[in-house]
Amino acid sequence: MSRTSRSFRIAATATVAALGLLATACGGDGGSADTASDGKPVTISYWTWTLGAKSTVEAFNRTHKDIKVRLTEIPSGTEGYSKMANAVKGGNAPDVATVEYQMVPEFASQGNLIDLTKYAGETVKSKFPDAVQSLVTFGGRTWTVPYDVAPQLYYYRTDLFKKYGIEVPKTWDDFKAAAAKVKKQDKNARLASMPKSDPALLAALAWQADGKWFTTEGDAWKPAVNDAPSKKVAAYWDGLVKDDLVQSYTAYSPEETKARTSGRTLSFLGASWSAGSLKAAMPDLSGKWAAAPLPNWGSPAAGNYGGTSYGVLKGSEHAEQAAEFIKWLTTDKAGVEARLADLASPSSALPADPEMRAVAAAKFDTAYLNGQDLYKLASEQVDTIVPGWTWGPDQLDVYTAVQDATAKSGFSGGVEAGQQKAESGITERGLKLAE
């Protein structure tokens, strides 16, 4: 397994410098660690959308007497984060929740997270590479505990590529040519679908193209959601949609799955975690999918598409027990194995803890990808993640603006709307906007 790349380390260093600006705004440093006085186990609630959650909770509950976990599955993306934020406001938030890296600074700055430094700070410092630590630790505090890294990957149907005489595209020019070839041969089939409902994917593609949605100048934030690389990416996909070379199904919808299952969609843009989703959604297509590096703009490159950590939400009365569960989830062999044990909802996430990657690789069933070593490929792609990306302090609002505008006026309109919201959001939060 490859080590975290120098480029990714540089990116995280930039991020932590920017996030330091939020330290004075961060709240939620409480949460008692009281244990049940009646001798009964403490029950903590856990909200997540991640695959393998059910088997993980069942394994933890079987092996721990003093702590029991109650699982609630919630939607991913903006809907899930809105649900969590509203739960904090309403005083009924869960103890533990999944928080993707791009949302850690926003959730911390809004006071939605409990400071985990005394409960998990040493674990994060000792178990994870510096780059990953920097995604969850800023202002001298540890806010969440990492689970996985999510370099982009390209998934394709090997049988259909053979049928249409298509080579796996190495560049985006290759991708466009392949898309035209598929359409010419079959009016009902397309090479891929580019959803207008997934701003995280658009962000990852902008990241791959060396876009920089947020940077800092001294103590001020400088958003650039509509920078030149991001505009290039948006225009590229707008062109493919306009020319009817790709579909545009809603991400994770039944229609999108049906198109892949029926062979009307030959490939898709994903990440290391996508293989588990494939296996769960399309078990009958075992052996027909493969993964490859994402097509690039001229040299090997990837963005980080997602990646999850675990935090304790404000209002939890059992922060210590919640942190114990999180430590088991992220750094214990049994926890990683349990996440892969549920055959109905398998996970292929690439652990951020290097010691756990071999554990996950050994447990994951490679038969679905016809024996391909997904973990080796994904680890190699970590080394191509482009440096210099920084997440902003109003990421959820930016994502919502991008998604809403993209649905109405395409990806180019999405990045313009995202830029406007980034600027207004920074000012509204009392942060300084660079001139």
Encode pLDDT of 61-76 as tens digits: 999 999 999 999 999 8
- Give the SS3 label for residue 335: helix
pLDDT of residue 420: 98
What integer is the mean pLDDT of 203-230? Answer: 94
Whether pLDDT at 18 is above 60 = no
Whether pLDDT at 107 is above 80 = yes
CATH 3.40.190.10 domain span(s) along the chain: 6-150+306-370, 152-303+389-428
Whether pLDDT at 397 is above 70 = yes
Give the lowest-confidence range in 253-257, 277-281, 344-348, 360-364.
344-348
**Predicted confidence band of residue 130 (pLDDT cuts 50, 70, 90):** confident
pLDDT of residue 5: 44
CATH 3.40.50.720 at 152-303+389-428, yes or no = no
Whether pLDDT at 30 is above 70 = no
Whether pLDDT at 1 is above 50 = no
pLDDT of residue 215: 87
pLDDT of residue 11: 42
Give the lowest-confidence range in 17-21, 78-82, 327-331, 431-435.
17-21
Whether pLDDT at 133 is above 90 = no
Domain 6-150+306-370: CATH class, spelled out: alpha beta
**Predicted confidence band of residue 59 (pLDDT cuts 50, 70, 90):** very high
Phi, psi of 137 (to 5 degrees): -125, 125
Whether pLDDT at 105 is above 90 = no
Question: What is the distance between the alpha carbons of residues 295 and 297, in angstroms, rounded to a whole number?
Answer: 7
Question: Which of the residue ranges 75-84, 176-185, 216-225, 384-393 has the most confident prediction, judged by mean pLDDT?
Answer: 176-185
Q: What's the mean pLDDT when you consider all of the chain?
A: 90
**Predicted confidence band of residue 38 (pLDDT cuts 50, 70, 90):** low
- DSSP for 379-423 reads HHHHTTBPS-----TTHHHHHHHHHHHHHHHHHHHHHHHHHHHHH
Q: What is the pTM of this model?
A: 0.83
Nearest CA to 104 out of 270, 306, 374, 360 is that of 306
Tell me 159's DSSP state: H
Question: What is the distance between the alpha carbons of residues 92 and 80, in angstroms, rounded to a whole number?
Answer: 15
CA 17 to chain centre: 21
Phi, psi of 128 (to 5 degrees): -120, 150
**Looking at the DSSP assignment, which residues form a beta bridge with residue 141?**
138
Please give the residue that has the higher pLDDT: either 78 or 91.
91
pLDDT of residue 9: 44
Q: What is the pLDDT of residues 271-319, one digit of tens each?
A: 999 998 898 899 999 999 999 999 999 999 999 998 999 999 999 999 9
